[in-house]
Structure 1
Amino acid sequence: MKDVKFAITDIETTGGGIKGNKITEICVLVVQNGEVIDEYSSLVNPGTEIPLYIETLTNITDNMVADAPKFAEIAPEIDKITKDCVFVAHNVNFDYNIIKAEFNNLELSFQRKRLCTVRLAKRLIPGLFSYSLGNICTSINIPHVDRHRARGDCEATVTLFQRCLDLDPEYEVFKAFLNQRTAASYLPPNFKNSDFEKLPASTGVYFFKDKDGIPLYIGKAKNIKSRIKSHFQEKSNRKYKLMQATYSIDYELTGSELLALLRESALILKHFPEFNKAQKKVSRPYTLTSYHNQKGIEQFVIHKNKVSPVSWMKFYTREEAIKFLENICTEFDLCPRYCGLQTGVSHCSHYKIVNCSGMCKGEINKEEYNRRVSEAVEYIQQYENSCLLVEKGRTKAEKSFIYLKKGRYAGYGFVENSDDFNGPGQFEDYLVPQTNSSYADRIVNRYLNTKKNITRLNLNTGEEVEERETEEWFG
């Protein structure tokens, strides 16, 4: 470790996270064997105005940087002084990613091994109230002049780095951080690598939490560990702010992808996490109904705002409704014209459904046609019956179920694979009741219309029914 060079770096910027942020000042102090052996510092013309709140914080004004070099002019110096060095900074991902972005804008590569003094200090100087640079300097008596200026902050970081070297004489902690091959280099500064390694590669929901344990963001994933790692690697300003505020990550296994979607929706509505985009307002649903026209023919119609005597099914997009009706029309040999799939034509000429029952041409009598419609309605009504949707469990030894009460989401549960329900009510000991919402309605409706291999347990007979195969649906 004595031969290793560390390029301890600090930058000041125009603010606003990582993406689009521009450098206004930079300082690099190269440390080898505990001593500063090289240095570079300069103001930088960002090519844009410095916001007033940043000017107040750093005392760097537009006038000060007007005649300063642009980053393109100093890039060769930054590349040269940091070459063959470990890139070190306090909250290293911030400084590193902004400098890397500046190089990328010049179509130049910037790749350095990284080391974070926040993570070093948390390991070697545990128990401090705060690990911001200013608070650490106050806590352990490090001189810190010219705060929020690149040179002043960089010199304070060098002193902190030297203290950490003194506390790790065998370089065990330094080597451990430098030799990591996990997501540790992307971890939020307040999050432990050991906690990341404990995350499961399983399906469920996860929670980014602040220092008080309050959810900041809730998501779903087929593979929780992999999805969280991808969050760490994202470079958006919003994600950067989330990572800075995250102190812990919790999770809830569901086994079932459907249940993960339903739990995510319910938990977002419960906690309204700061970094979740508000759930899109679900518009008034499309309703599938039927009526007897003046000729006595029963025909289907989709509407959005009208009140109707009967309502067979609801859809949250017109595309879902049309697709479902096309399947019904084909399955029960109906007429596209009388299924609301064609208007303004005397005889069917549907682009997709080539076989028409002939009702539009009078080739079958209305009694036979209405009988087919009745069979279709009976099929549709099964979606509104109370049932259990049987899904994967959290382990191979169990299965999950989603309870639909009269077609609406009402709860979930987990049972052993050997458990069977032979009658109504036997599942209730395992049921976790849930409140339905329009979001849950939409999730379940999409699942019923597009999921492969639905296993539905009829609560009246206790029989499992394997249903049709369609396209994949879970994203």
Structure 2
Amino acid sequence: MKEVKFAIIDIETTGGGIKGNKITEICVLVVQNGEVINEYTSLVNPGTEIPLYIETLTNINDKMLVDAPKFSEIASKIQEITRDCIFVAHNVNFDYNIIKAEFESLNLSFQRKRLCTVRLAKKLIPGLFSYSLGNLCTSINIPHDNKHRAYGDCEATVTLFKRFIDLDPDYEVFKDFLNQKTAASYLPPNFRKSDFEKLPSTTGVYFFKDKDGIPLYIGKAKNIKSRIKSHFQEKSNRKYSLMQATYSIDYELTGSELLALLRESSLILKYFPKFNKAQKKVSRPYTLTSYHNQKGIEQFVIHKNKVSPVSWMKFYTREEAIKFLEFLCQEFRLCPKYCGLQAGVAECSHYKINDCSGMCRGEIEVTEYNQRVSRAIDYIHEYENSCLLVEKGRTKTEKSFIYLKKGRYAGYGFIENSEELSEPSQFDNYLIPQENSNYADRILNSYLKNKKYIKKIALEPQEEAAELQKEEWFG
């Protein structure tokens, strides 16, 4: 690789992220066979004000940039000097993506092979406390003058790069990094490729953790490895900051997508990770209730704030409530007018439900109609019964279960397929109790209403002493 040219680059910018970040200074030092053969340094007018904290860090101020060229004026020079070069930088994805974005803003393409000196340092000089450019140079006695200016940082990176060549004279480590065609080329600077390769391609929750093992972000995925790879490739400022802070990734297999959703919700509430957007505050739910109107008809109604003597069911959006009421109307041949789906009409004319019971036209007796409503309420009670939801396990030899106690999330567990779940003692020993929350309620309500087939084992009301009495498939 002695004939290969490496364009070692450093930039100063208007901020710490990637999106919307503009270059204020750039330095390119081209190295071939261990020697600098070409160089270019320039201030750059970003077309925007420099934040005070950046000015304090770099000593680059707005006045210095008034007469500096804009990036559009130096783009051709950057293209020319880096052509046929491998793009090298300390934490390369930061510099590369910002320069690439500057070219894209001019409708120009910029594609170069990349090499990261942070990752080279971790491989060739393992065990250091910190791999920031300043601390790394201090640790191995490399001069680093004029810090946080493009030429000073770039010059130090060149010296560091030469040290790597001395440590890897046959370029074996260099070639290994350059030939990576997987997500490893997008890995966070503090994250090891071997750890990524160990990630499973199955369903569960995952944790991005800081250097102290504290969760920074918690997510869920059908394919953990694939989802984490997609995080590495996202280029938002928030994701960039997360990647810089990540030192390890942990995971918890669930087998079941439903259980992954529930575990993600519970774990976010437990740890409140810095990079998880706060779980949206669940507003007061919509309540489905019923009453006898002046005609003696049992009438369903949805309300949000009123106190009612009976509450059949809760919904977290009006759309969910409407959808469920439409299902009840069709399944039990009820009248949309008396289900809160139409108001101010003498007879039903619902856009979706054409098979009205005829109650609004006096075609059936009130007693018969109320019996239909009663059957609908019995059906609703099925959601409130204690039961086990049986789901996929983490392996082919096990199944998972989710325990609903009086319709509320109470825990989960895993059990071998050979276990019949014929009495409470058989799942109680495997039960991992959990606290219910509004988020868990919402997840389960949505699942029970929208899932076409649910494997559900119903329990008698006295859970602690009950025997499992039936296994059914509910459509």
With normalisation by structure 1, the TM-score equals 0.97
Q: Which residue of 1 aligns with 2:214?
A: 214
Measure, in 2, the Cα distance between the counterparts of 1:464 and 1:163. 68
Measure, in 1, the Cα distance between the counterparts of 2:129 and 2:351. 68
Aligned with 1:372: secondary structure?
helix
Q: CA deviation at 1:161?
A: 0.5
Measure, in 1, the Cα distance between the counterparts of 2:471 and 2:44. 69
The size of the alignment, in residue pairs, is: 468
Q: Which residue of 2 aligns with 1:430?
A: 430
Please list every run of 5 or more consecutive structure 1 residues that lacks an aligned counterpart in the other structure.
Answer: 469-475
Aligned with 1:300: secondary structure?
strand
Q: CA deviation at 1:11?
A: 0.3
Q: Which residue of 1 aligns with 2:255?
A: 255
Give RMSD over aligned pairs.
0.9
Aligned with 2:226: secondary structure?
helix
Measure, in 1, the Cα distance between the counterparts of 2:360 and 2:396. 52
Q: Which residue of 2 aligns with 1:464?
A: 471
Measure, in 2, the Cα distance between the counterparts of 1:228 and 1:2. 36
What one-letter code is carried by the residue in structure 2 that aligns with 1:409? Y
Whether 1:107 aligns to 2:107 is: yes
CA contact (8 A) 1:423 1:459 kept: no
What one-letter code is carried by the residue in structure 2 that aligns with 1:463? K
Measure, in 1, the Cα distance between the counterparts of 2:89 and 2:427. 56
Q: CA deviation at 1:463?
A: 2.3
Measure, in 2, the Cα distance between the counterparts of 1:16 and 1:37. 31
Measure, in 2, the Cα distance between the counterparts of 1:51 and 1:370. 69
CA contact (8 A) 1:421 1:462 kept: no
CA contact (8 A) 2:419 2:426 kept: no
Measure, in 1, the Cα distance between the counterparts of 2:296 and 2:456. 35
Q: Which residue of 2 aligns with 1:26?
A: 26
Deviations 1:418-461 (A, max 9, x none): 21112344311111000000110100011011123111111245
Distance 1:333 1:425, change over 3 A: farther
Distance 1:425 1:330, change over 3 A: farther
Q: Which residue of 2 aligns with 1:70?
A: 70
Measure, in 2, the Cα distance between the counterparts of 1:391 and 1:452. 14
Aligned with 2:8: secondary structure?
strand
Deviations 1:106-126 (A, max 9, x none): 000000000000000011011
- Map of 1:53-452 to 2, 5 A cutoff? 53-452=53-452
Q: Which residue of 1 aligns with 2:465?
A: none
Deviations 1:51-91 (A, max 9, x none): 11111111111111111110001000100111111100000
Aligned with 2:426: secondary structure?
coil
Q: CA deviation at 1:464?
A: 2.1
Measure, in 2, the Cα distance between the counterparts of 1:410 and 1:356. 39
Measure, in 2, the Cα distance between the counterparts of 1:243 and 1:237. 10
CA contact (8 A) 1:298 1:370 kept: yes
With normalisation by structure 2, the TM-score equals 0.97
CA contact (8 A) 2:11 2:150 kept: yes
Q: Which residue of 2 aligns with 1:49?
A: 49
Q: Which residue of 2 aligns with 1:471?
A: none
Identity %: 81
What one-letter code is carried by the residue in structure 1 that aligns with 2:45? N
Q: CA deviation at 1:143?
A: 0.6
Q: Which residue of 2 aligns with 1:472?
A: none
Measure, in 1, the Cα distance between the counterparts of 2:452 and 2:429. 28
Aligned with 1:106: secondary structure?
coil
Please list every run of 5 or more consecutive structure 2 residues that lacks an aligned counterpart in the other structure.
Answer: 461-467
CA contact (8 A) 1:209 1:216 kept: yes
Q: CA deviation at 1:154?
A: 0.2
Measure, in 2, the Cα distance between the counterparts of 1:423 and 1:230. 43
What one-letter code is carried by the residue in structure 1 that aligns with 2:238? R
Deviations 1:336-376 (A, max 9, x none): 11111111111111110001111111100011111111111
Q: Which residue of 1 aligns with 2:463?
A: none
Deviations 1:121-145 (A, max 9, x none): 0110111111000001111110111
Measure, in 2, the Cα distance between the counterparts of 1:424 and 1:226. 38
